[in-house]
Amino acid sequence: MSNKKKKDSLVSIDDVKVIWRIIARNWYIPLVFGGLSYLVGYFYTYKLTNIYKVSTQIMLNSNEQYYSQSLISEAFCSRKG
């Protein structure tokens, strides 16, 4: 019964040993690819042009008070959306 139980298991001890041996022999490959990916990403973002967002707002003076939601800004916002 123990033999049947071993055969029914999805992964055997020998499979795990083989995978561990492959990882132990080739540990430098993920390290090298990780380092190269970092350098490529750093260089790409270094050479990227900066993009800035600019906005303007017209404030109208009415009776010595400024209204941020004036007719001009309301018309502009309603046309945008």
Is 10 within the bounds of a domain?
A: yes
Question: Encoding tokens for residue 68?
Answer: 């941020």
Query: Please, are residues 72 and 58 in contact by the beta-carbon 8 Å criterion?
Result: yes
Is 36 within the bounds of a domain?
A: yes
Is 74 within the bounds of a domain?
A: no
Is 63 within the bounds of a domain?
A: no
Number of domains composing the chain: 1
Is 30 within the bounds of a domain?
A: yes
Prediction pTM value: 0.42
Is 79 within the bounds of a domain?
A: no
For residue 10, CA distances in Å to 45, 48, 60 come to: 44, 48, 75
Q: What is the pLDDT of residues 6-26, one digit of tens each?
A: 567 788 999 999 999 998 999
Phi, psi of 6 (to 5 degrees): -65, -40
Q: Is pLDDT at 61 greater than 70 in this prediction?
A: no
